[in-house]
């Protein structure tokens, strides 16, 4: 009988250790990007067979997204350094007699190329446009993404770059990771004070973001969510449970436009409702896109996006 219990105990310990090793792999892969030579990012939902099995066991390899789309207008390439030493690359698109400057931030695993369509639209609305690759993305330095924790320094460096040009009317725009990072940056740096903020599909908290990743992979939320957050924190060296845009938006006191796609399986409606409820300002607007998921709302529902953005930009201006 003792041998039986010892055998069961050894099996349980082995399973627990194996699970933690697998989860640690996933946490590492989700936050690290390889220099892009021949690799291309492939969404898990598009995988099948052996690729899907490997992704379940060892996580998905992410590569730095290539710069494969450029603005439709004359632009300047610039380089700026963050306070913690990362060299970032971006584009500045000037506009004659500009109404202000819109700074755009892309999502996880993307680059400034992914938001060129939005950049062109803001330029057409009469604004200068500035867009920067986050660290570990595009052509910026680094290979480690902290899901918005240290990327706040990237937002700050870009904001300061635009301020150095003498700009007074600055609008911050972010999609997914970009939106979440903006909320934390405005908490970490009180001197980031834009005229308006546009947030598209921000996750409610890092825990919510992990749950969204698990939904895509058709895996149970628990105990995997807490294990992923724990190992991610160990690997990154910060307390991941405090990473929560739902709390950061309490520090935003300027007009905010929050947008979300009804078919989004990564960011849920309760998350968006919580973000919206907690935004400090009364000058806030929530627009839901019934035909869109976690994707470019402009590209999927262009008429609605253009109307919504135009109305927001013109309000009280």
Q: Which residue has the tokens 């845009």?
A: 245
Max avg pLDDT among 163-172, 214-223, 226-235: 163-172
pLDDT score of 269: 97
- Domains of the chain, each with CATH number or no CATH: 64-205+243-314 (3.40.50.1820)
pLDDT of residue 65: 86
| pLDDT greater than 70 at residue 297 | yes
Mean pLDDT of all residues in 116-131: 98
pLDDT: which is higher, 117 or 66: 117
258 neighbors 276 (Cβ within 8 angstroms):
yes
Q: What is the mean pLDDT of the chain?
A: 86
Q: What is the pLDDT of residue 9?
A: 47
Residue 235 has a pLDDT of 66
- As a whole-number percent, the residues of the chain with pLDDT over 90 amount to 64
pTM comes to 0.87
pLDDT in tens, 47-76: 454 455 555 555 667 788 889 899 999 999
How does pLDDT run across 73-108, given as a tens digit for each residue?
999 999 999 999 999 999 999 999 999 999 999 999
Instruction: Write the DSSP string, 83-143.
Output: TTS-EEEEEEE--TT-S-EEEEE--TT--GGGGHHHHHHHHHTT-EEEEEPPTTSTTSS-S
Does 18 score more than 60 pLDDT?
Answer: no
Q: In this structure, what token pair is assigned to residue 54? A: 């490997």
């Amino acid at each position: 009988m003792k041998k039986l219990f010892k055998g069961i105990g050894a099996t349980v310990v082995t399973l627990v250790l194996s699970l933690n090793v697998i989860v640690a792999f996933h946490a590492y892969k989700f936050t690290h990007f390889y220099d892009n030579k021949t690799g291309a990012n492939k969404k898990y939902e598009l995988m099948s067979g052996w690729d899907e099995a490997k992704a379940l066991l060892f996580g998905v390899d992410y590569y730095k997204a290539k710069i494969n789309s450029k603005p439709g207008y004359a632009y300047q390439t610039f380089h700026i350094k963050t306070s913690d030493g990362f060299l970032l690359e971006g584009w500045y698109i000037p506009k004659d007699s500009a109404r202000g400057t819109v700074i755009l931030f892309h999502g996880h695993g993307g680059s400034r190329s992914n938001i060129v369509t939005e950049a062109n639209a803001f330029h057409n609305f009469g604004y200068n446009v500035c867009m920067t690759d986050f660290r570990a993305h595009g052509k910026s330095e680094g290979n480690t993404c902290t899901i918005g924790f240290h990327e706040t320094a990237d937002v700050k460096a870009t904001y300061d770059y635009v301020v150095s040009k003498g700009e007074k009317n600055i609008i911050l725009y972010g999609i997914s990771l970009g939106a979440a990072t903006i909320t934390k940056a405005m908490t970490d740096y009180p001197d980031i004070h834009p005229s308006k903020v546009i947030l598209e599909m921000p996750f409610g908290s890092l825990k919510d973001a992990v749950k969204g990743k698990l939904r895509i992979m058709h895996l149970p939320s628990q105990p995997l969510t807490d294990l992923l957050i724990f190992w991610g924190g160990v690997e990154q060296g910060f307390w991941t449970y405090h990473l929560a845009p739902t709390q950061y938006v309490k520090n935003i006191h300027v007009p905010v436009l929050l947008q979300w796609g009804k078919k989004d399986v990564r960011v849920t409606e309760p998350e968006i409702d919580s973000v919206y409820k907690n935004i400090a300002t009364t000058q806030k607007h929530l627009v839901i896109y019934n035909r869109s998921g976690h994707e470019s709302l402009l590209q999927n529902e262009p008429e609605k996006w253009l109307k919504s953005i135009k109305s927001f930009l013109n309000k009280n201006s």
